[in-house]
Every structure is written in structure tokens, then in C-alpha cells.
A and B are shown apart, each in its own frame.
Chain A
Amino acid sequence: MELQQFNYDNRIVKAFIIATVVFGLIGMLVGLTAAIQLFYPVFNFDSQYTTFGRIRPLHTNAVIFAFVGNAMFAGIYYSMQRLLKTRMYSDILSWINFWGWQLIIVAAVITLPLGLTTSKEYAELEWPIDIAIAVVWVVFGWNMIATILVRREKHMYVAIWFYIATFITVAVLHIVNSFGVPVTAFKSYSWYAGVQDALVQWWYGHNAVAFFLTTPFLGLMYYYLPKAANRPVYSYRLSIIHFWSLIFIYIWAGPHHLLYTSLPDWAQSLGTVFSIMLIAPSWGGMLNGLLTLRGAWDRVREDPVLKFMVVAVTAYGMATLEGPLLSLKNVNAIAHFTDWIIAHVHVGGLGWNGFLTFGMLYWLVPRLWRTKLYSTGLANVHFWLGTLGIIFYAVPMYISGITQSLMWQEFNSEGFLVYKNFLETTVQILPMYMLRAAGGALYLAGAIIMTYNLIRTAQQGSFLKDEAAEAAPYARGTRSTGGWHQVLESKPILFTVLALIAILIGGVIEMVPTFLVKSNVPTITSVKPYTPLELHGRDIYIREGCVGCHTQMVRPFRSEVERYDPLNGEYSKAGEYVYDHPFLWGSKRTGPDLQRVGGKYSDSWHFNHMYQPDAVSANSIMPAYPWLFSQSIRKSETEAKIRALRKIGVPYDEGYESIAVQDLEAQAKQIVENLQADNIEISADAEIVALIAYLQRLGRDIQAGKQASTEQ
């Protein structure tokens, strides 16, 4: 058959590589800053745009969507063209994908420090940006599927399956989790409330890790590791099992983020079982990667690309064993809400995603620029700095997590908590926070050295824009010789639909009962919607990212009930959250839980505490919030907030929006009077008044219910 001549597009790969490196450095720098803020609160700079609560989501979004996202696109655009023996279907779509993605990142860099956030983890961006993400993602998928359709290679290699699964699943996750009702141009409320919102969010959050950080990188592993090792993957059969069992099982495991919460028990158990089952495909994949190096281990000593990849695949294996173990309820009881989880995600992030990206870049850049790597020595220095960085990051976080968790749960012989003051447990782990920042700094230093090395490599070579290739056209209509899977591999649309069905089954079975069965969220009659002032306060709480450090979920443990609600002894119930759009359970306790904080302190305590936390609680690492005292509540938005919430089921009376501001002012006046009694003068319009109203409301409904039943 006659061979056809064509060119691979290297320019798009180059653009994504540059974006990967630039945003990688920025994302890591923001992460390091956030890490330092935790032991030197002065690094919050007393500015609202740089407080921990606002830059933490900036860090997570930057490293996940900007660093890893761009690396994923770079890797996919290079490998897909070569595996399918064709140029990308459309250069225009490729460039819309590139510039669209960068614009979304810039929008995130602007809006997150401004406090424009939904507060749902890894889905913080507000609704206009969510729509842009959906559009750009569809462009990426369109370009990819169309490229598959015009391919010259009949069969799709396993890496391509992982790319397809990434595209369809992230699309489904993003759309389902982002449902909301807009209030203003950059403010929306989640369509779901409380327990349901939590379930959808962690179905999303867990699978964002699975299908944004894992499956695309497994695809990259199946391409770049054999390329770098110069030998085929160890077992292609294993890769088939790896793929289908991974995408089939992963989607079910989301509820393991919500163990011991108010989520129905059966859903928690489902999450645990499927998490344990995940060990098999994950380790199958890891072994397949490592065994690809059989007979080439001598080269691992010399080749920095292979070094990075070996550590990456090993980190993947460690993180995917640790994840299922963390989803066992007894382990989770210790680890949840602590720094253990931070260690776990960074073994995955720094080790698996970071190191695989570095390995891929060290392999790609010399090839695209037709030269050799500028300095293997510097790449080795980077490797050791990065490896030490991971160790110095992870080990202190494990120690810190376990230490703090044990301190939270320790009772003395009289049956009282030994460390009744939460702050004692925080102060104890500050040295670990310092070590963690040192680990992060080492890792960042390595990345800076890599940047220099790659720039020098590019300078000494000459970039090949279009790489000539030739291949025979794909003769359509020829029958596959083997079984059904070979047929499937030559039918991309059918393959995509089946992969979609595989991931939907898990999602549907997990969510339908929670959404449809009323008894899953028992109603508590004393739970009422927030007042307009509390609603504003809640939105300030969301804006400042309080949820990044404070949970609102008292788990049913004696130690937690004793610590957070010693008077009434109530752990958190599903029915308490029915008007919470979005839910604010949180995932990390750097500060204490706030679900029962209402009425615990006076209004003036909150006032002083928000103004200067360490003056009220010595050694507190909480940043100060001076701007809350000068900025005014945006009463012009009150009406829209009430209307939006009623639309999604919060029972405000028809027409209440027109008198809501009066109610707001009356409640604000009451708080101002309380403060005046303690010699504090503040305008009734100040944001702090709304925040105090919200904090004082937390946990009050369930107390009111209890009082009512006692009186009866």
C-alpha cells in the first residue's frame, strides 16, 4: 500500500510545555507561601488578597489544572499524533484548547484572590468560568475524537483509551458538580444542599483525582515509559485489565471522603468496599510500569528520565495503597481532617504527577529541539532535590497528622479531654509545619534548576515545528482478526460510549438513592433557613475560605462531641444541613470545628478575635481580617440571594425578598447593641456584623429543637 506523507504538529506541544513550566513554578511558589503562613501568620500580609483562605484554593487550582493540566495536554498532543499516525484533526481547535485553557487559568488567578469562590474543593471557580471550562474541554474532546476518526493506525493503543476516559469522565463530573443558580455575575449557590451537595462534591473531588490526575497520567506512563526505556510495555494484557477495572471501580469510591459524617451508612460502606477493590488495578498498573524496565535497570542509574519515572510510578503505587487503607473506617477515624491527608495527596501530587511530568519534559524537550539535554548533572541534582523535597514534605506531615489526631482524642483518668483547648494541639505541630515548608522549598528549587536546564537545552538546539512522517492509510472495512476487544479498539465512538456507561453505572447507583429517598436525610423540624444577615455572613465565610481550615462536621465520636458540644452532646445530623447551599463540612481541621460554635462565645469575643486572633488566643496561627471592619455588607444583593435560594428549594415565603433588608438591619442593630454593651463601636453595615450573626447561628437549630422537646 502506498505510504502517505504528513507532519506532526510540534508547536502545540511546545506551547503546552512552556505553560506547564511557568504555571508549575507559580503554583509551587503559592503553595510554599501558604505553607509558611501556617507558622508565620505575618506572611498573610494583612491583605485580604493574600490570606491563607484565599491562596490555598489558588495553590490547588494552579498545580492541578495549570501545572498538571498543561502537562497532560502537552503529553497527549505529542503522543496521540504519533500513536494514531496523523496530525491533530484541527490546528485551530488545538490552539483554542491552548489559549482557552490559559485564559481560564488567568481568570482563576484573578478571581480566587478576590474571594470569588464556590468553596467546593477543586471546583472553586465561579459559574462564568465553569461554563468556559466546559466549552474548552469539549473543544479538546472534539479535537481528540476527530483525530481518532482520521487516524492511519487501525487500533487504539492503551494510552488512547486512558485519554478518552479522561475526556468523557471529567466532562460528566464537571457538569454535574457545577450545577448552581447564579446570584450575581460572579456568585452562585450550589443546586444541591447539605448531604447531597457533599456526596456530589466528593464524587467529583475523588474522581477529579482519578480522571484528571491519574488516568491521563497512566496514559502518559504507557507511552513515555516504553519510549524512554526503549522497550515495549511489560504486559499489554495486564494493561487491558488495568484500564477497564480502574475506570469501572474508581467512580464508586467517592463516599470514602465522607466516612463518619452524616452521609447514610450504606453509601459509606459502598465507598469503602470499592476503595479496597481499587488496590488491585492500581497495583497492576504500577507493576506493569515498573516491570517494563525489566532488563533495563542498569540504565535507570544513568538516565534521569527513567529515574524520575521510576520514582513517579513508585509514588503512584504508594499513594494508591494508602488511599484504600485510609478509606477503612478505623484508619479514617484517625487520619481524617488531619495533615495525614495532606501528606497522602502530596505523595501523589509531588511524586506521581510532578515526577512523571519532569521525566516527560526531560525526554520531550531534547527531541523537540533536536539536541541533547544541556546538563545531565543538573537533571540529577533536580532528581535528588525533588526526592528529598518529597520526603521532607511527607514525613513531617505524617507525624503531625497522627500526633494531632491522638491529642484530639486523649482523655485523662477523670474522663475529661487532656487537650481541651484546640490550640494546644496546633502549637504542638508547628515545628512539623516548618519542616514541611523546607521540603516544599527543596522541591521548588529542583523545579527552578529544571527550568534553567530546559531553557539552555532549547537554546542549544533548533526547534522542529513540523515533524515529517509517513504511514499507510487506514483501510476501512477490513475485519479484525481477533475477539471483541480488537473490534472495540477499532471503533472509537463505541469505545467511548462503553467507557461512559462504565463510569455512569457507579455514579448512578451511588447517587440515585440519596437523591430520591427522602428517609436518607431525616428532617429536623427546628432547622430553619438562614436569616438575610446570616446569609451574608455565610457568604463572607465562603469568600474568605474559612472552610479551608475549619470543618462543620462533628463526627459521632465521644472525643468530638465532648470537645465541640459538651453541653448538649450532639454530633452532626444530616437534617441540620438541608438549607446549606453549598455544604461547608470542610476536609481539614487546622482550626477547630465550628458546627456548634453558635452561642459558645460572646459577640465581642468574635469581634476581637477576627480583628486580632493572637490577642484573644495567644499563639493562634489564624490570620487577622481587618478589612471585615471597614467593608460594608452588600445589601443590594440580598434580594437576589433570597430569590436564588428559593428557586432551589429553601422555603422563604413569596415576597420575603422585599422585606429581607429590613430584617437584616434589625438583626444587625441587635448585634451592634450587644457590642456597644462591651464598649465596642461599629457600623451596623460592617461585614463583621454579618459574620458574627452567621457564627452565632451555627448549631443553634438543634439546640432549639432540644429545648422545645424538653418544654413539651
Chain B
Amino acid sequence: MIDVAIIDLQTSNMKSVIGACKKVNLKYSITSNPKDLKKARALILPGVGSFKNAMNFLKKKKLIKPIKEFFDSGKPILGICLGMQLFFKESSEYGLTKGINIIDSSVKKFTSKDNSKIPNIGWSTISNKKKFKNKIFNNINTNKSFYFVHSYYVNKFEKKEHNVEISNNGNIEFCAFVNFKNLYLFQFHPEKSSLEGLKIYKNFKKLIKK
């Protein structure tokens, strides 16, 4: 068994995700083979690139069902940026494309009508509260910032069993973080968010059952 299977979407910047895993001593394997998921205690879906291409890639590699089964098994999953968005119902990026659809919301593009900057690049805080509720943010103060780089987003929502933290771009409030059961989804890049980002990897490691 290995700690984490990192799914290689071929377009992702794997180096920094790998660097973060190494830094917190997570044993990882990089794969796009469904069989490897069975041997892993946790899953990371990183992501740079377009939604459509990524979904086509997952389909081609017959990874969608294994990812859903992985979720059903209760093992922790970390989704980053595009790797977050893929777990939603659909995205309008390069034509409406269906996602893995574990959370029933859509991914949309920022528009200048909402006074949003496109792309949204830079560091932002994600909570107005005194403390983070979710244990993935253990030992992190809410005044700390995280690094975002994206043009698509999921609107802020409130649902039972979902823990959501938000950021804004112009008039749009979007999901910066969503936790649903064993799914931990980040619109920002923990592996690019300096020491605070590494703390997220450390906390993720603690969720992995040996």
C-alpha cells in the first residue's frame, strides 16, 4: 500500500504537489491507472488545464468510476483547482461538460460584468471568522492567505453536510474550499501557498488511516 495516489492529468504542475508530499513525508505514486487507486490510502487530484480535456482524459483512462468508488470507500480525497472543479456537476469551460458529479453545483467563468478580474490571480484570505471549523486547517489562522490562479469558479453555496469557505472576486463570492464527507476540495493551491499550504498537506496526512 502507498499513502497517496496522485492522478496525473498530464497537464498538471506535478512538481510542486510532489514537492509538498515529500516535504510532509507522504509516500506517493503518480498514476493514471485505475488499478493503482485500489492500492492507495488517499487520493490527490491536482489540476491545471481545461475541464473538458481533463474529463475526456479521465474517461479515456476509465478513471471516473474508480474515483467515485474511492469516494464511497470513505478514504480522503484532495482536489486542487481544476481537480476541485471536476467533482462538481458540470462546467461551462469550452462548452458544457459533465463532471464527476459528487456535488450538485456548476462551474462558471468569471465575467467582467461582475467586476471580476479574469483570471483571478493572487493571494487571498478565505474566512472572516475567528477560527477555521475544518480540521484540514488545523494550526492555521484565518488571517493567513492562500494562492489562487483561476478563471472558473463555483458559486458560494450552503448545504447540509458541506463545510464551505469563501473568497471573492469583484461582486462574486465563490467557493475557496469545500469539504463534503471525505472530499477536501481547494480552489486555491495549497502547494503554492507557502507554509500555510504545507500545513494543509500535514493535516491531510493525519486523515490517512494506516
Q: Do A and B come from one complex?
A: no
- On A, residues with C-beta under 8 Å from B are none
